[in-house]
Structures are given as C-alpha cells and as structure tokens.
C-alpha cells in the first residue's frame, strides 16, 4: 500500500499456477505429459482508492519461462534479485479491457527471514514470509504512476492442488510500529482448523503468538464469499475497502487491533470449495487468458 493510502499493488509469480483452469483441466484428465512449468503466470494488479483497478494475469507455457539463480522471467516480464533489492519489470496486457501495463517495481527488504512454516497437518503446503517488512517503489509508464509505500514478500509451495488440502482460509498482514504481523486461519479438507499468528521485528526476528479471537466481517457484497479475521479482546474489526470481489476470493483492507495497535491490514479470504466448482472454472479464462502451449 502507498504511504498516502491512495494506491495498492499485488504481484504474484506463479510456477504451476494454482488458480489455472487449464492446469486443473489437464489434471482431471491425468494427462501423461502434465508439467507444472507449462502453467506459469505473473499476476499484476494496481488498485486506486477511487475504485480504479488494472488487472493482468496471462498464463504461459514452459517455453516462456526462464529461470536462473537470481532471476525469473515469464514471457515479457521478469524478476531479478541483486542481494539487496528485488526488481520486477512488468510488461503485461490487462483484462477484460486490454491495455498496456508497463513499469518497474523495486522491493527493499528490511531483513530476510529464513524460516518456513507448514500450513497443514500433512506438511504438504509450506509458506515462507521472506521479507515481512519492506519498502516498495513503483514507477510505471503505462499507466503513468509513481509512488512508494509499505510492502511485503512471501513464498508458497505445495505438493498438491490447494483445493485438495483446504476448504478455505483467511490471511492478513499488517504493518506495526516495530515491524509487522501476519496471520493465517485455515480449514483443511479433513475439517481441521489451523491458525498461525506471527510477529516480525525490523531485524527479521519472529515470535509466534497466541491467535487473537476470531472477528466477523461482512460477507462480500457481489459474490457473497464469507470473510473473517482476528482481533484482540475489546475491539472490533471492520472492512475499509474491498479490493477484489470474485466468485471464490476476496481481497480487502481491514482495520483491526493487533499487538496493542490499531492497524490497517491487507486481508484475503479464499473459498476453495467455490474455486473447485465447475461454474467457477468456466469463468476463470475471462480473467486469465492463455498464450501458447509448451
């Protein structure tokens, strides 16, 4: 989020795109040539407080993927790590209305966290908050936009499709005066609930905390996806802005109380039963076009 609160940014580099309808279609048919790297995408979204949003997520095949120790390229866009800064060069086309999305993003971590955390009882899904506290600089030609603000970098890895391991989850990350707090609250496919509440300081040190009580949030207005968060006793959580309202996923800005502070968090609710439904899978190509195979 930008320092003035007027802009937001999400970038997700996906190798074995977990939300790909094309990947899911091939898995269901047990295609013998199934290759996760044949389903890659760079999802880039720019948000404005005025409600304007630019979304790009074009899936590409293995031929569009280049990987090296310190760099990753998916089609015309690429990421590069120089030991101190992650630079993301974006060159994508938005959907559903096509327009060019071109510019550069730099992320400067305050510290690097080396720890991984398992999100499920079978240890099939791992998560690493690489840079829980970071600064972000955005400089775009198309659209003409330049800002800086608070940021975050993480990494997820799974040995199975998300919908095979989970029914739903809520995730959030909030900047604190001395670092950041990150929360997971997930319901596994076997019905087990797992919660993870972490506090990071600016040196990258992590402390696992007792999860605050669950706090209700209003159901998303368009697609009616349920969402909830956590908030300390004696306080209430509220939605300040809904950034994404989709059939299976909601991204929001939520005000809540964590670690003794009133904070604004970036919050996500994911309904994987909805995601797996055939009618949702049929809608996904409209937001996620595919370019090339192999």
Task: Note the pLDDT tens digit of each residue in 178-232.
Answer: 999 999 999 999 999 999 999 999 998 999 999 999 999 999 999 999 999 999 9
Average pLDDT over residues 146-153: 97
DSSP-assigned letters across all residues of 207-267: EE-PPPPEEE-PPPTTT----EEE--TT---EEEEEEEE-SSEEEEEEEEEETTEEEEEEE
Q: Is 77 exposed, middle or buried (0-12, 13-18, 19+ CB in 10 A)?
A: buried
Indicate the pTM of the whole model: 0.94
What lies within 8 Å, CB to CB, of 152 at 6+ separation is 129, 131, 132, 133, 134, 173, 180, 182, 266
**33: pLDDT strictly greater than 80:** no
Range in 41-55, 69-83, 172-186, 216-230 with the lowest mean pLDDT: 41-55
* pLDDT class of 294 with cuts at 50, 70, 90: low
Average the pLDDT over 278-283 and give the result: 96
pLDDT of 70 over the 90 cut? yes
Residue ranges per structural domain of the chain = 7-291
Residue 23 has pLDDT above 90, yes or no: yes
If you average pLDDT over residues 94-100, what whole number do you get? 96
Average pLDDT over residues 264-280: 97
> 56 phi and psi, to 5 degrees?
-135, 135
Q: Is the pLDDT of residue 32 over 80?
A: no
Looking at residue 292, its pLDDT comes to 82
Say yes or no to pLDDT of 31 above 70. Answer: no
């Amino acid at each position: 989020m930008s320092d003035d609160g007027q802009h937001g940014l999400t970038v997700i580099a996906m190798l074995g795109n977990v939300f790909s309808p094309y990947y899911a279609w091939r898995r269901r048919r047990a295609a013998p040539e199934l290759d996760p790297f044949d389903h890659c995408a760079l999802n880039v979204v720019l948000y404005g407080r005025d409600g304007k949003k630019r979304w790009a997520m074009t899936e590409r095949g293995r031929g569009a993927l280049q990987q090296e120790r310190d760099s990753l390229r998916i089609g015309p866009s690429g990421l590069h790590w120089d030991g101190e800064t992650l630079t993301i060069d974006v060159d994508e086309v938005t959907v559903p209305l096509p327009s060019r999305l071109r510019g550069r993003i730099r992320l400067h971590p305050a510290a690097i966290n080396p720890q991984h955390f398992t999100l499920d009882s079978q240890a099939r899904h791992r998560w690493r908050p690489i840079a829980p506290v970071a600064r972000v600089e955005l400089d775009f030609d198309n659209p003409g936009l330049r800002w800086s603000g608070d940021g975050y970098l993480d990494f997820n890895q799974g040995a199975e499709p998300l919908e095979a391991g989970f029914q739903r989850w809520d995730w959030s990350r909030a900047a604190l005066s001395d670092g950041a707090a990150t929360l997971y609250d997930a319901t596994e496919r076997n019905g087990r609930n797992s919660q993870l509440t972490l506090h990071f300081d600016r040196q990258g040190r992590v402390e696992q905390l007792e999860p605050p009580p669950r706090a209700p949030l209003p159901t998303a207005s368009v697609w009616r996806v349920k969402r909830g968060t956590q908030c300390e006793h004696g306080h209430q959580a509220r939605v300040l802005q809904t950034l994404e309202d989709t059939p299976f996923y909601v991204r929001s800005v939520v005000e809540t109380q964590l670690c003794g502070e009133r904070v604004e968090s970036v919050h996500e609710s994911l309904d994987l039963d909805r995601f797996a439904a055939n009618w949702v899978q049929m809608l996904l190509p409209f937001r996620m076009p595919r370019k090339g195979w192999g």
